[in-house]
């Protein structure tokens, strides 16, 4: 695991965008796994700026997002589908048909999850997976538990995650209590993983990740079993 400690969030975002742009440069038709949440917004802004400067071309790139609330309409401004378009897709030249976000509107969420895993395989797997981390060590919505689930699946959100995400909603009661999430297997099968971690609130989760111990009580620690992980964090998360 390579760890890059940056002075600021801006520096962390620039580092992340550089690695993502290098991936697209190296393999223009690559498959990117993408995350939502506050953490990657700076990196997405950097990628948009690089696209506008003619430094990166997304026309052959395919993306798979990690997760989506369930149930939620795609046009709800709190859906991850909406978030990704607002922060990235609407500002770059990726064709809509190459964008994959789990659909929180479907009547059969289990089928949606099974189909998503099939599509990832049909596209040859994920070349570069971008991750954030929850304060409790979750990755995507694989929450701490006795057992983790390999396949993409429907899951409940923990109180801690609902509480953390309440900042985006008018009322905590509006936060959906379920989600569709990539399971541990498609994440761990990604050829390269980039995890971004910033802020004091993530210090405990980062420390567990870097301890080298593996536990389902901190799902991110599973990344210790992957052979190509880059952790980019800021000083606050690193030092606590």
138 classed as catalytic: yes
Q: Which residues bind ligand F6R (CB under 6 A)?
A: 35-39, 66-67, 132-134, 138-140
Let me know if 136 is a catalytic residue: yes
Dist CA 11 CA 88 (whole Å): 19
Q: How far is the CB of 141 from ligand F6R (least distance, A)?
A: 6
Which letter does DSSP use for residue 211 in this model?
T
Rounded CA-CA distance 147/238 in Å is 28
- State the minimum distance, in angstroms, from the CB of residue 134 to ligand F6R: 4
Please provide the DSSP assignment of 68-128 as one string: EEES--TTSTTSHHHHHHHHTGGGS---GGGEE---TT-S-HHHHHHHHHHHHHHTT--SE
| Closest distance to ligand F6R from the beta carbon of 53 (Å) | 26
Cβ nearer to ligand F6R, comparing 60 with 178:
178
Cβ distance to ligand F6R smaller for residue 107 or 141 = 141
Q: How far is the CB of 168 from ligand F6R (least distance, A)?
A: 9
Tell me whether residue 29 is one of the annotated catalytic residues: no
State the Cα–Cα distance between residues 150 and 64, nearest whole angstrom: 17
Among 136, 142, 165, 198, the active-site one is 136
Question: Of the residues 15, 138, 153, 236, which is catalytic?
Answer: 138
Q: Rounded to an integer, what distance in angstroms lies between the CA atom of residue 134 and that of residue 190?
A: 20
What residue number has its CB nearest to ligand F6R? Answer: 132
Contact predicate 204/160, CB 8 Å: no
Among the options 67, 117, 234, 236, which is catalytic? 67
Active site annotation includes 67 = yes
Catalytic residues, by residue number, are 67, 136, 138, 143
């Amino acid at each position: 695991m390579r760890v890059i400690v940056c002075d600021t969030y801006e520096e962390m975002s620039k580092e992340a965008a550089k690695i993502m742009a290098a991936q697209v440069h190296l393999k223009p038709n690559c498959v990117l796994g993408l995350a939502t949440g506050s953490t990657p917004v700076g990196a997405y802004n950097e990628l948009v700026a690089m696209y506008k400067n003619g430094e990166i071309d997304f026309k052959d790139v395919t993306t798979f997002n990690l997760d989506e609330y369930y149930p939620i309409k795609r046009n709800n401004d709190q859906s991850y589908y909406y978030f990704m378009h607002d922060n990235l897709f609407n500002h770059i030249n990726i064709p809509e048909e190459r964008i994959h976000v789990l659909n929180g509107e479907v009547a059969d969420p289990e089928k949606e999850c099974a189909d998503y895993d099939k599509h990832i395989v049909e596209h040859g797997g994920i070349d570069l997976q971008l991750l954030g981390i929850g304060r409790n060590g979750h990755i995507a919505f694989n929450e701490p538990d006795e057992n983790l689930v390999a396949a993409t699946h429907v899951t409940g959100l923990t109180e801690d995650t609902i509480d953390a995400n309440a900042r985006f909603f008018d009322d905590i009661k509006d936060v959906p209590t379920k989600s569709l999430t990539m399971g541990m297997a498609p994440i761990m099968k990604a050829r390269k993983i980039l995890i971004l971690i910033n802020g004091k609130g993530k210090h405990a989760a980062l420390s567990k990740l870097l301890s080298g111990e593996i536990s389902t009580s901190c799902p991110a620690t599973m990344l210790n079993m992957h052979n190509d992980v880059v952790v980019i964090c800021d000083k606050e998360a690193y030092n606590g």
